[in-house]
């Protein structure tokens, strides 16, 4: 474990990808290696030496797709972070931690009513924590919401970074779904970075049946090994075609077509259209994935079906120890879905992940 550094070394998004409005020319974004001062830590703050930081779909949205950040560039992206505390609050120094992707203020109405995961004053590394994010050597954060890692055995600390979002976000989504033991579940985008954990977590929490939907046969076959009971390849199919195939699965296996908890984790317009097509009597559609496109839907169907559409954002920090325990006890499998690379490969890793979501989530390890 390193000591207090003289400076923080970081990969900053100097400029996101933009498009010239007049010519339509795409101007590539820029990531640059920078050195910035170590900030003076305030009461209750710590400095974490980064062990690993995952590349999330959200990071790619900021860099490539025009999704705005609260802190304007230049800033360091990255919010899936694990590491070790090296300075600040004496009670935390030397401890291994996972940094929650969203850290609530603990004072506002949202926080006081149990909805602190969407606190409007929340601190989010790589967005609303000033210029600081996880693609760096160190990051200053409040200590109150840190999730301490203990008894991890030979489980690599850097790979636990994905718990900060990819695995905890589905846990929060299951809470928003009011998932009960014996519920039937659909996961749209079950082969993706969040979808694969949504399938595992809902099954671990007691889902009776999990139907996975994706556009990759390889990922669907993998999903069958990690929680899914049935799968549908939606590639090249309309939402209505997928809904018909889903109903056929239900009929062939004695399953109802009503009362399903449907998790949309693909963050794509086709995925959201499939979710809406599946929404039937007393179903609940939970929107996890994000995209900038619009979909059309007759909301009167919600009245006719007595159905619901709900959004979910991040995860309350108090749920992190529960998800960590699930991972360390292998109730959900993490290592099979993670790969590590040197942080110096950030530019090519971003490009690769943007072109085609990787089979295993990329976690960047500092190699400064």
Per-residue pLDDT at 50: 98
The predicted model gives 282-302 an average pLDDT of 94
pLDDT, mean of residues 288-303: 93
Task: Report if pTM > 0.95.
Answer: no
Residue 246 above 80 pLDDT? yes
Q: Is the pLDDT of residue 220 over 70?
A: yes
Residues in the chain: 368
Ordered by start, the domain boundaries in the chain are 7-165+315-365, 168-311
> What average pLDDT score do residues 348-359 get?
92
Calculate mean pLDDT across residues 313-331.
Answer: 97
Answer whether 221's CB lies under 8 Å from 191's CB: no
**Higher-scoring residue by pLDDT: 4, 259:** 259
Which has the higher per-residue pLDDT, 20 or 45?
A: 45
20-29, 197-206, 268-277: least confidently modelled range: 20-29
pLDDT above 80: residue 26? yes
Specify the 3-state DSSP secondary structure of 147.
strand
Q: What is the pLDDT of residue 352?
A: 95
Indicate whether 1 pLDDT > 80: no
CA 138 to chain centre: 21
Burial 117-137 (b: 16+ CB within 10 A, else e): bbbeebbbbbbbbebbbbbbb
Say which DSSP state 87 is in: E
Tens digit of pLDDT for each residue in 151-183? 999 999 999 999 999 999 999 999 999 999 999
Q: What is the mean pLDDT of residues 71-95?
A: 96
Contact between 268 and 287 (Cβ < 8 Å): no
The pLDDT, as a whole number, for residue 115 is: 95
**pLDDT (mean) for 326-335:** 96
CB neighbours of 115 closer than 8 A, spacing ≥ 6?
none
Domains 7-165+315-365 and 168-311 share a fold: no
Question: Percent of the chain scored above 70 by pLDDT?
Answer: 99
Q: Mean pLDDT over residues 319-333, rounded?
A: 97
Q: End-to-end distance of the chain based on CA atoms, in angstroms?
A: 14
Among all chains, which residue has been given the structure tokens 């070394």?
A: 9
pLDDT higher than 90, residue 15? yes
- pLDDT tens for residues 97-137? 999 999 999 999 999 999 999 999 999 999 999 999 999 99
Question: Are 187 and 228 in contact, with CB atoms under 8 Å apart?
Answer: yes
CATH architecture of 7-165+315-365: Alpha-Beta Complex (3.90)
Q: Is the pLDDT of residue 290 over 80?
A: yes
The whole-number pLDDT of residue 236 equals 96
Pick the CATH number of 168-311 from 3.30.1490.20, 3.40.50.720, 3.90.79.10, 3.40.50.620: 3.40.50.720
Joined together, the tokens standing for residue 279 give 């929404």
Residues 6+ apart with CB under 8 A from 366: 9, 50, 51, 136, 137, 343
Q: 260, exposed or middle or buried, with CB in 10 Å at 0-12, 13-18, 19+?
A: buried
CA-based radius of gyration for the chain: 21
| Banded pLDDT at 356 (limits 50, 70, 90) | confident
Residue 38 backbone phi and psi in degrees, to 5:
-75, 125
Give every CB contact of residue 96 below 8 A, 6+ residues apart in sequence: 51, 82, 83, 84, 148, 149, 150, 152, 157
Return the pLDDT at 19: 87
Instruction: Report cis status (omega within 30 of 0) of the bond before 74.
Output: yes
Distance CA 52, CA 278 (A): 38
- Residue 2 has a pLDDT of 64
């Amino acid at each position: 474990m390193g000591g207090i550094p003289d400076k923080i070394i970081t990969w900053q998004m100097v400029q996101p990808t933009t498009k010239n409005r007049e010519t339509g020319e795409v101007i590539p974004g820029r990531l640059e290696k920078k050195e910035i001062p170590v900030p003076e830590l305030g009461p209750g703050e710590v400095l974490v030496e980064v062990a690993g930081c995952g590349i999330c779909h959200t990071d790619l949205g900021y860099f490539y797709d025009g999704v705005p950040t609260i802190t304007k560039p230049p800033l360091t992206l990255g919010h899936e972070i694990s590491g070790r505390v090296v300075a600040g609050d004496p009670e935390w120094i030397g401890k291994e931690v996972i940094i929650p992707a969203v850290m609530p203020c603990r004072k506002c109405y949202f926080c006081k009513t149990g909805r602190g995961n969407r606190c409007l004053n929340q601190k989010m590394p790589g967005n609303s924590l000033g210029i600081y994010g996880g693609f760096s050597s160190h990051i200053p954060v409040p200590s109150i919401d840190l999730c301490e890692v203990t008894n991890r055995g030979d489980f690599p600390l850097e790979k636990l970074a994905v718990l900060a979002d990819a695995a905890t976000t589905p846990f929060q989504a299951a809470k928003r779904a009011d998932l009960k033991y014996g519920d039937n579940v659909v996961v749209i985008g079950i082969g993706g970075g969040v979808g694969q954990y949504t399938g595992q977590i809902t099954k671990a929490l007691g889902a009776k049946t999990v139907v996975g939907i994706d556009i990759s046969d390889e990922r669907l076959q993998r999903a069958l090994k990690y929680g899914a009971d049935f799968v549908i390849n939606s590639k090249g199919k309309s939402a209505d075609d997928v809904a018909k195939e889903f109903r056929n699965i239900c009929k062939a296996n004695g399953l109802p077509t009503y009362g399903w908890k449907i998790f949309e984790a693909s963050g794509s317009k086709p995925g959201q259209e499939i979710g809406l097509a599946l929404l039937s009597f007393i179903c609940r559609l939970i929107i996890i994935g994000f995209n900038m496109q619009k979909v059309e839907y007759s909301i009167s169907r919600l009245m006719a079906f007595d159905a619901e559409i709900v959004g979910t954002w991040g995860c309350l920090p108090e749920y992190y120890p529960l998800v960590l325990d699930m991972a360390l006890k292998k109730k959900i499998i993490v290592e099979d879905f993670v790969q590590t690379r040197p942080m110096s490969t950030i530019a090519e890793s971003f490009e690769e992940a943007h072109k085609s979501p990787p089979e295993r989530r990329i976690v960047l390890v500092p190699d400064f």
